[in-house]
Chains A and B, each alone.
Chain A
Amino acid sequence: GEDVEQSLFLSVREGDSSVINCTYTDSSSTYLYWYKQEPGAGLQLLTYIFSNMDMKQDQRLTVLLNKKDKHLSLRIADTQTGDSAIYFCAESIWGGADGLTFGKGTHLIIQP
């Protein structure tokens, strides 16, 4: 079955870059997503990437995809206290028509 793995915690200093990593097992994945969940809130889509791309940049966010290794990363430049949240990696085969398979989420902790 499908599996999406992430480390549970990441601690970075304010102003540094954060890199959150994710691995997935389903080679059929065509869409890979990053969601942000703030305490008590729902999920907010940060960005997504198609499997035929290897990089996508959106302001402070950079997504890198290594399809061969089934590895996805999210880099947040100049990390701020407002970036403190849980970040979920998710994958989908049919662009979400089949629902998404999520990782357990990485809790990003910002140190002053």
Chain B
Amino acid sequence: GAVVSQHPSRVICKSGTSVKIECRSLDFQATTMFWYRQFPKQSLMLMATSNEGSKATYEQGVEKDKFLINHASLTLSTLTVTSAHPEDSSFYICSARDQKGETEAFFGQGTRLTVV
């Protein structure tokens, strides 16, 4: 199957700093990528839909100024957590859909963010 690479897998940062997470589709082109957040023992919640070349669409309750998304190419989307706080500590995971419109979404390995 297609591969989505997410980097870094783990990151620890200080409160007030910003962290960038990358999501790359390695062997296919993705016009749409999705960012999810998973709290411990909770489900994955869709944060935003990232569209190549246009602004991301954020789900209700997700602060767009805090979670900056850039989808600059057909193979790369980035999520930047700005001015991170301990409550932003979570597991962030991206998924990408082949631009051919397949129903399968390929997920990255996820990023464990810990804000101290």
A residues apposed to B, CB below 8 Å: 4, 8, 31, 35, 40-45, 48, 88, 95-105
The residues in B between 26 and 55 inclusive whose CB is less than 8 angstroms from any CB of A are: 32, 34, 36, 41-46, 49
- Distance of A35 Cα from B95 Cα, bound (Å): 12
Closest chain-A Cβ to B57's Cβ sits at a distance in Å of 9
A41–B43 touching, CB < 8 Å: no
Q: Mind listing 13 A-B residue pairs with CB under 8 Å?
A: A4-B43, A35-B107, A42-B108, A43-B95, A44-B107, A45-B104, A48-B103, A48-B104, A95-B103, A98-B49, A99-B36, A100-B95, A102-B36
Closest chain-A Cβ to B49's Cβ sits at a distance in Å of 6
B residues apposed to A, CB below 8 Å: 1, 4, 6, 9, 32, 34, 36, 41-46, 49, 93, 95, 97, 101, 103-110
A96–B43 touching, CB < 8 Å: no
A41: B residues at CB distance < 8 A: 109-110
A-B CB pair tally, cutoff 8 Å: 56
Of the residues A88, A97, A99, contact of B43 by C-beta under 8 Å: A88
- Distance of A98 Cα from B45 Cα, bound (Å): 13
B95–A103 touching, CB < 8 Å: no
A88–B109 touching, CB < 8 Å: no
B43–A45 touching, CB < 8 Å: no
- Distance of A109 Cα from B42 Cα, bound (Å): 18
Given the interface pairs A88-B44, A96-B97, the reply to whether A42 lies near B34 with Cβ below 8 Å is no
- Distance of A104 Cα from B42 Cα, bound (Å): 5
A99–B42 touching, CB < 8 Å: no
Closest chain-B Cβ to A68's Cβ sits at a distance in Å of 23
